Amino acid sequence: MHIFYNPDHAAHQGKLEMYRGRMVPCHEVPQRQDQVAAALQARALGPLQKPNHFDDALLQRIHSPRYLQFLQTAWQQWIALDPANVALDAIPSVWPTRSFRTDIEPDNFAARMGLYSFDAGTPLTAGTWQAARSGADCALSAAAHIAQGARAAFALTRPPGHHAGADFFGGYCFLNNAALAAQYLRDSGLERVAVLDVDYHHGNGTQAIFYERSDVFFASIHGDPRTEYPFFLGHADEQGQAAGRGFNLNVPLPRGSDYARWSEALDFALKAIATYGAQALVVSLGVDTFACDPISGFALQSEDYLRMGERIAHAGLPAVLVFEGGYAVEAVGLNVANVLQAFA
């Protein structure tokens, strides 16, 4: 399997995040990618390759220009407020909501940051743009291999991406790697692409990006948004709108769901993808469905990820797999490697 790893991922390393009303050490840490890389190498699942660099114009196929401009310059703006800020992460604190205006970019930095974010759990650091930009190259490199005829490719990168929308970050995500990969496959000539999100948390950013489109089918299996982050999207009645009506599938499950229940949802999602007639698959591969994950609530065991990989492979579609969540750091490498080994 072609494995593209992010050589710049450790440039993004947040200190603290707001979690359930308290400031705590960040759950999304560089060791996540390091653990996965070590596990993949130990099993010889494929050499780790640096990604190719892709033009910034490809990012604008998914993300708005003013959002990208903000991400590229946010750290410099933060330091310009006070040189002492170099020792601190920038964390959003104020947001527009409901009837507030979002068409005018504020002059105030805190307001600008709020305009482009949706939570206080996603610190922006000196190396955030560098890490996220290289991560996008990983996803695009993996998609390029599929477009050239490969069966599978894995984008091993952090920060993750599926919570990032066209013009907002949150949930540890800044650029939507899965959406970028899906768009690349579409631009390469495939008429129908599916995104399957198996992360514990709903891929609200990916859904929002493709919600009015019929050329990318989005299916997500996740914790029920009535109790689970990101809370305000991911309900079963969200089926797409306008041209996208019928091309969005959410399968929310209650806390405590084990693999038996989860696998039924996977079968349901894969059948919908087959009915859709997808020509390629992008998998948002989060392994925070693991029973010991500190910020999630399903009960999957490490051996279940072998069965997950087999079942996704049986769909018979060329696939880009993109690393998303998974915060039980010591087990994250084992669980990802199980998926990829079984898939291969």
Catalytic residues: 163
Q: What are phi and psi of 245, to 5 degrees?
A: -60, 125
* Residues found in the chain: 344
Q: Are 153 and 1 in contact (CB under 8 A)?
A: yes
3-class SS of residue 288? coil
Pairing, β 16-19 against β 152-156:
unpaired
Query: Over the range 88-101, which residues count as b (16 or more CB within 10 Å of their CB) and which as e?
Result: ebbbbeebeeeeee
Bin 274: left if φ > 0, else alpha if -120 < ψ < 50, else beta: alpha
Question: What are the structure tokens assigned to 209, written together?
Answer: 């990006």
Amino acid identity for residue 178 in this structure:
A
DSSP, residue by residue, 10-73: GG---SEEEETTEEEE-SS-THHHHHHHHHHHHTT---EEPPPP--GGGGGGTS-HHHHHHHHH
Q: Are 17 and 24 in contact (CB under 8 A)?
A: yes
| Distances in whole angstroms, Cα of residue 150 to Cα of each of 104, 217, 285, 341 | 44, 21, 19, 16
Q: Are 91 and 18 in contact (CB under 8 A)?
A: yes
List alpha helices for 222-300, DSSP H.
259-276
Amino acid identity for residue 110 in this structure:
A
Q: Are 71 and 133 in contact (CB under 8 A)?
A: no
Bin 193: left if φ > 0, else alpha if -120 < ψ < 50, else beta: beta
